[in-house]
Amino acid sequence: MKKLAKTVDFENKFLYNNIMEIKKIATIYTSFKEKFGIPRQSGRGKNLLGKIVFEPEFRNADALRGIDGFSHLWLIFDFSQNHREGFSPTIRPPRLGGNKRVGVFASRSPFRPNNLGLSSVRLIKIEKSKEDGTVLIVDGVDILDGTPIYDVKPYLLSDIHNDAKVGYSDIEHKLSVNYKEDIFLGIETSVKESIISCIEEDPRPSYQDDEERVYKMKFSDYEIWFKVKDSVATIVKITK
């Protein structure tokens, strides 16, 4: 009986009540200056680059040895602007119109008990500088500028499941985007493509469908105003 009691105490202490400290290993810098306008999943937009700068403690080049052999990476990050007290077991996914609830663990919602995000990004290149050490340039980001990164892992072929079911996320919804060519005057083609691809993903809250409303999103150094009617977004103004 004494041996059993010790085993239970061990399990209670280390399996059930364990709290792990997570260190920030890096910061990612992107063109997304606010949450509105960020694609709801990674890899959805065009030319959405991110720069991963490691903390001084983790700037040992050996920690990245062999990473150039992988085309894609998993990023585990902090939903830093979604911290809140309490726990809600259900959320309203945008793909279900914002009216139907599903379990938080059946979603990619940022409102989670531990506020951890997961993104798959393409590794574009590795750069070295005196100021930041070895940094990673990645594409396909869906992460706010200045977000803490907790881990970087290689994407493996075993991560692909050809027989996977994707539930309600299989519902596809995109906007067509209209604009006058001169509205992008002086803006680089890559930035133009990025802005359009983000609006195509329809960043509006699911419960908003007011065709008279003008929405504003920030991307890089620009503010973009657009309206939506019958699944067609019209860009009305861009300012720097």
Separation between Cα atoms, residue 114 and residue 145, nearest integer Å:
20
* 70 alpha carbon, distance to own chain's centre: 20
Residue 8 domain flag: no
Residues 214 and 137 in one domain: no
**Strand extents, DSSP E, the chain:** 26-30, 49-54, 72-78, 90-91, 102-103, 116-129, 133-139, 147-154, 176-178, 215-219, 222-229, 232-239
Residues 133 and 180 in one domain: no
Closest among 78, 46, 57, 76 to 155, alpha carbons compared: 76
Domain extent, residue 233, equals: 173-239
Instruction: From residue 112, give the alpha-carbon distance in Å to each of 80, 93, 94, 152, 169.
Output: 11, 13, 16, 20, 18
Residues 202 and 230 in one domain: yes
Separation between Cα atoms, residue 154 and residue 135, nearest integer Å:
15
Give the pLDDT score at 236. Answer: 96
Residue 166 domain flag: no
Domain end position, chosen among 103, 127, 159:
159
Residue 4 domain flag: no
Give the pLDDT score at 14. Answer: 53
> In which residue are the tokens 């798959």 written?
120
Give the pLDDT score at 173. Answer: 78
Give the pLDDT score at 166. Answer: 81
Domain end position, chosen among 159, 193, 225:
159
Amino acid at 142: D
Separation between Cα atoms, residue 48 and residue 43, nearest integer Å:
8
Residue 126 domain flag: yes
Residue 95 domain flag: yes
Domain end position, chosen among 133, 159, 185:
159
Eight-class DSSP state of 46: S
Residues 154 and 187 in one domain: no
Residue 179 domain flag: yes
Number of domains in the chain: 2
Residues 204 and 180 in one domain: yes
Residues 180 and 222 in one domain: yes
Residues 147 and 199 in one domain: no
Residue 230 domain flag: yes
Give the pLDDT score at 44. Answer: 82
pLDDT in tens for each of the 240 residues of the chain? 444 555 555 555 555 556 778 899 999 999 999 999 888 888 888 899 999 999 999 999 899 999 999 999 999 999 877 777 778 888 887 777 667 888 988 888 888 888 899 999 999 999 998 899 999 999 999 999 999 999 999 999 898 888 888 887 766 778 999 999 899 999 999 999 999 999 998 988 776 778 889 999 999 999 999 999 999 999 999 998
